[in-house]
Structure 1
């Protein structure tokens, strides 16, 4: 049952699946049989995610043997940025919309994950008119430039560190085939931090909204620290902002804003091997 978690549709499985679909859509858009992108020197080019947004989610509605329908589309936002949008439904009931924005990058000559350069790819369709993803792309640019003052009800200038949790990403679990810390692993670390700072409520919640902004990456054997900067505590919900920092130099590599509410069911039995 890789598609389900204890409280409905597995968000981490979903993000991995949509990341894969995004990658295949890029190849299709460029008229290629496979997503093997390279620069003029023949070096690999990757689609690094800049931002993703989960909206109007009802992941708790998913049950075993349900059919999940994913309707996906792709648009070009700029010279190097592409966006995909994925509408999710079970039995014609919408259960969420996921927007993902990526930019084409290549590694620096030293081969590390700290520095990458943006690359333009030939053969892609022209930049389209403003789409629903354009707002998210503009917001992501604002976060990278430090211009955003409020988001999802949080005043970013009034936040303070409420707690920190350090993780040592595992190469066989948290990194992808390109050797980068996989974008879904950013969410995994925030959820593990949530499990530590609110274990009672965390066992019963499912995501209804999540915005993630990516700024950097880590090399193998580097730690990542999740910093809880703000939270609100309405009844039956977990709403918080976590920031991810690279252990080696303290650089901010991501901001994650999350709203999760108590699911209408909670798995109370654990069955090994299922």
Structure 2
């Protein structure tokens, strides 16, 4: 059992290791101030990677479990894997708008999802010198400040199966993971439910987006997983590599539409979410299939849906959806389907 620390309200387990730069606002909410460095901006995947680190830090601080060094009862490593990752930006603050030296205030709230899962919400904004306030999950979803960048991470504890590969991962909570004190987020905003629908239906959408016209359907590209770039330090296909693969495929779709590289870099990512359905080894080829819709009233706004499929095993690895705006003068009317 972990010891507890009194905070003037609810108690939180005392962590054996405290992440640097993290301060508690209450028992399950932490704040940090970050300066944007070259290693966290530019490609979309770099910022997603840093957000993942902040999630692990927040869960460590809120639960007392050292997420970076967690084990099951047999002593085998246990990892806090990403099942659902959503980043909602605005035209004033989104992942591609970050520049060297920007200062950010990050408030992270950790919520209970049972003994094998956890939900973390991040509210990211430019640091204006004002004191951080606790995170209200209802306001987070319904009353965001125009300058907020909002992030949802739903994570599950996993371990490798008996064969030791990335294709037989199993659920496994670490020893000492204390979740009973964590608040529960309103179920109507459930990330678990959103991911379950995507897993069940192979899509986040109930049908074509209202008010949008299909520009491209069935665009496919094949991505060979590389051990030299796509795996993390424990040999798993890194969660942020999925973001990189999606951008890699999107750039090729934009090229097919006659759009330039500069327009690709200047796009605004208003919303992006991924439901992770599986992992893969380094010898895997992943097929990405993209569909693009354009807003009939605002042609600069587009939505893209993508699926990631393991060709060798014929299994789904992820479902993704993006909402982007921008494109500039180089955009041309696109094709209706891939030849």
**Structure 1 residues 123 and 136, CA, compared in 2 at 3 Å: closer, same or farther?**
closer
**Structure 1 residues 15 and 74, CA, compared in 2 at 3 Å: closer, same or farther?**
same
* CA deviation vs aligned residue, 1:139-197 (integer Å, no higher than 9, x gap): 11222233867359549xx9x95111111122132111121111111111111111011
* CA deviation vs aligned residue, 1:19-52 (integer Å, no higher than 9, x gap): 1121222333332456311111100001111101
> Shift of residue 241 of structure 1?
0.2
> Shift of residue 232 of structure 1?
0.8
Partner of 1:22: 55
Any conservation in 2 of the 1:29–1:124 contact (CA below 8 Å)?
Answer: no
Gaps of 5+ in 2: 1-37, 129-145, 329-339
Q: How does 1:58-207 map to 2 (within 5 A)?
A: 58-59=93-94, 61-92=97-128, 94-121=147-174, 122-126=176-180, 128-131=183-186, 135-146=190-201, 150=205, 154=209, 162-199=218-255, 200=259, 201-207=263-269
> Shift of residue 243 of structure 1?
0.3
> SS where residue 124 of structure 1 aligns?
coil
* CA deviation vs aligned residue, 1:65-101 (integer Å, no higher than 9, x gap): 3212221121121221101111111144724101101
Gaps of 5+ in 1: 265-274
> Shift of residue 54 of structure 1?
1.2
Any conservation in 2 of the 1:139–1:148 contact (CA below 8 Å)?
Answer: no
> Shift of residue 202 of structure 1?
2.6
* CA deviation vs aligned residue, 1:236-263 (integer Å, no higher than 9, x gap): 2331101000121221100110011128
> SS where residue 199 of structure 2 aligns?
helix
* CA deviation vs aligned residue, 1:80-137 (integer Å, no higher than 9, x gap): 1101111111144724101101000111100011121112333322153334795111
1:35 corresponds to 2:68: yes
* CA deviation vs aligned residue, 1:207-237 (integer Å, no higher than 9, x gap): 1101110000111121111111x21123223
Distance in structure 2 (CA, Å) of the matches to 1:252 and 1:207:
24
Distance in structure 2 (CA, Å) of the matches to 1:28 and 1:262:
39
Q: How does 1:227-246 map to 2 (within 5 A)?
A: 227-228=289-290, 230-234=291-295, 235-246=299-310
Q: Which is higher, the Rg of structure 1 or of structure 2?
A: 2
Distance in structure 2 (CA, Å) of the matches to 1:135 and 1:226:
27
Distance in structure 1 (CA, Å) of the matches to 2:85 and 2:172:
20
**Structure 1 residues 95 and 141, CA, compared in 2 at 3 Å: closer, same or farther?**
same
**Structure 1 residues 210 and 204, CA, compared in 2 at 3 Å: closer, same or farther?**
same
**Structure 1 residues 209 and 151, CA, compared in 2 at 3 Å: closer, same or farther?**
farther
Paired residues, what number? 257
Distance in structure 2 (CA, Å) of the matches to 1:263 and 1:132:
37
User: What is the RMSD computed on CA atoms of the aligned residues?
Assistant: 2.8
Partner of 1:271: none
